[in-house]
Amino acid sequence: MIQKIEHIGIAVKDAEASEKVFNALFNQKPYKKEIVESEMVQTVFYQSGPNKIELLQALSPDSAIAKFIEKKGEGIHHIAFAVEDIYAEIERLKEEGFQLIHETPKAGADNKLIAFLHPKSTNGVLIELCMDKPLE
């Protein structure tokens, strides 16, 4: 079951330049910066109250973020929803007829397991499901 909006992902050309904008906007520095090799992105996370923003900069012209920016420009890339059990949620959404980009969760930024729903089945919005990784 979807619990809440976990974060909103924003595709940016230059994370360092965008950091200056968001530092001023939130009047604070990011709480985390991370490179996600599997997605070929650098992430920068801000938190304001319960709300989080993730800035995503492509590290390769082959990354999904680079392709997104080339096609649509900088801007909102996805909305991520926290789920209690990502495995059960993937199965439920498949049964509901949603098209999944990932049918198996994978490691994402900020210590999460993630899976994406295809925008073709969600009114043009890329949806990310995320769950805290279990402690090992």
Query: pLDDT digits over 70-107, tens only?
Result: 999 999 999 999 999 999 999 999 999 999 998 999 99
pLDDT category of residue 115 using cuts at 50, 70 and 90:
very high
Structure tokens at 46: 């801000």
CB 118 within 8 A of CB 42: no
Whole-number Å distance between alpha carbons of 118 and 84: 20
The secondary structure of residue 121, as a DSSP letter, is G
Q: What's at 119, amino acid-wise?
A: P
Neighbours of 19 (CB within 10 A): 18
Residue 135 has pLDDT above 80, yes or no: no
Q: How far apart are the first and last CA of the chain?
A: 24
Collapse the DSSP code of 87 into the 3-class scheme (helix H, G, I; strand E, B; otherwise coil) and give the result.
helix
Put simply, whether the predicted model's pTM sits higher than 0.85 gets the answer: yes
What value does the mean pLDDT of the chain take? Answer: 95
CB 43 within 8 A of CB 55: yes
Residue 38 has pLDDT above 90, yes or no: no
Query: pLDDT digits over 41-59, tens only?
Result: 999 999 999 999 999 999 9
Residue 136 has pLDDT above 70, yes or no: no
Q: In the prediction, which pLDDT does 1 show? A: 84
Least confident of 13-22, 103-112, 127-136: 127-136
